[in-house]
Structure 1
Amino acid sequence: LLIGLSSDDINDWISTYQQDNHYTHVLEHLNDNSIKNKFQFPQYRLDTSGLIYFEDWEGHSHLCIPDSRKLEILDEVHNSQTESAHGG
């Protein structure tokens, strides 16, 4: 299954990261070229499109979801016909 985001959606996510208290700091450190700051958030990486991923201890990458989008994402996954565990 291949899933992707449109460039408009990616731009919306990047904007949301820039407004998030935690991810604002993550972005500052990921975009800083000094070696000192690269180790502040070693579990995060920025992909070429600007999305932030968290790498767990097994090396699996997970898309980071800003706080302001969590309910939207949970609602979408819970209520979609292909993902919901129940009919209502």
Structure 2
Amino acid sequence: MSNLDGTFTSALDALAASAEWSDIDSYHPSSPFDEIPLYSRDSDVAFFDGRPIREANEVLLRYSARFLADLVGAVERTGREPAGRYLRMISLLELSD
């Protein structure tokens, strides 16, 4: 497995920024269900080129989980939403890899 804190961190941070993941205000107020994808095209994750799909998926999942935890912490520190009042999730399209 690749080191999340090294090899792909800057590329994933840039991807999250381009997807506007880091804009806390985009999560509030939320509709009954709102999902912001990290990427929509294979070219968005071309930096994984040559890596096994399983490894790329694991890196993406670990990054997403850490990002979500950081975001939830940031939202709760603002005091705008009571803890646990909103849905927090990472959705996957396939579970094959």
TM-score (norm 1): 0.29
Question: Which is richer in strand?
Answer: 1
- Higher relative contact order by CA 8 Å / sep ≥ 6: 1 or 2? 2
Q: Which protein shows a greater Rg?
A: 1
